[in-house]
Amino acid sequence: MISIGIDVGSVAAKAAAYDGEKIIATALLPTGWSPKESGGQLLKEIMGDLNITRDDISTIVGTGYGRVSLSFIDKKVTEITCHGRGAHYIDPNIRTVIDIGGQDSKIIKLNDKGTVIDFLMNDKCAAGTGRFLQVMANALEVDVGDLSELAAGTEPANINSMCTVFAESEVVSLMAEGASKEAIASGLLHSVCNKTYSLASRMGVENKVFFSGGVSRNKKLGELLSNKLGVSIISTDESQFLGAIGAAIIGYK
């Protein structure tokens, strides 16, 4: 039997399938307007990939903010718990997860069994989240996926405001003054790094640190965080599936 985890986030919906030993498939879709539709679509996709039917699935666990809309799931689990379990699967030595998603950021502390022992979350303020970078990439007229490369090897422009709205005005002014996109991109990543640092340092960060969430694809930001926190930070391509992986594992029986 196989268990499935579905993690419907604000930007992307993710699914993972677990066979009791390892993750055997993952899938990803934009969340779009309807978490229910994207969740259902993912389930179909992963069953198609694995060439299985609903009868081969023991449990489906939903997580992420859109989990409440999923009518076909057996169980709902908070994303904090799922992220913890997912990180433990990837590396049992992980003790801290820094997760930066499209609309929130979280710091999660784990014990050696992958159980969450503490966490802090910011979901009230767009600063320091993927949304901040999205707004800024827009102002800079670049793709958000290019910010990391743009910022690499450049001294950061000074961006004083943490607030997304005020920082956006600063970016517009900096461009008008002729600052390079590279320097501005670097300044923006420093801003997200500082905001994350101030969240993380309220709880303390223990090795190993895993960087997850959509924003973890930004390699340069990972480097900045690692320097600022004075720890080494790991991240993998699986990191955006952390919640789905954890949900699948929790659902397995």
Q: Which positions lie near ligand SF4, rule CB under 6 A? A: 125-127, 163-165
Q: How far is the CB of 25 from its own copies (least distance, A)?
A: 32
180 binds, among its own copies, ligand SF4, none (CB under 5 to 8 A by kind): none
Contact 239, 97 (CB under 8 A): no
Quote the least distance from Cβ 94 to ligand SF4, whole Å: 29
Compare residues 96 and 105 and give the one whose CB is closer to ligand SF4: 105
Chain residues that interact with its own copies, rule: CB under 8 A = 103, 124-126, 131-132, 135, 161-166
Which CB, 7 or 168, lies closer to ligand SF4? 168
As measured in angstroms, the least distance from the Cβ of 129 to ligand SF4 is 9
Asked if 95 and 109 count as a contact pair (C-beta separation under 8 A), the reply is: yes
In whole angstroms, what is the distance from residue 64 CA to residue 82 CA? 9
Between residues 123 and 155, which has the closer beta carbon with respect to its own copies? 123
Contact 59, 36 (CB under 8 A): no
Taking the C-alpha atoms of residue 38 and residue 41, their distance in angstroms, rounded to an integer, is 5
From the list 94, 73, 98, the residue with the least C-alpha distance to 85 is 94
Tokens 């994350």 sit on residue: 196
CB of 126 to its own copies, least distance (A): 4
| Binder of residue 22, out of ligand SF4, its own copies, none (CB less than 5 to 8 A by kind) | none
Residue 183 touches which member of its own copies, ligand SF4, none, C-beta under 5-8 Å by kind = none
> What is the distance of C-alpha 116 from the center of its chain?
17
Instruction: Find out whether 110 and 205 touch, Cβ atoms under 8 Å.
Output: no
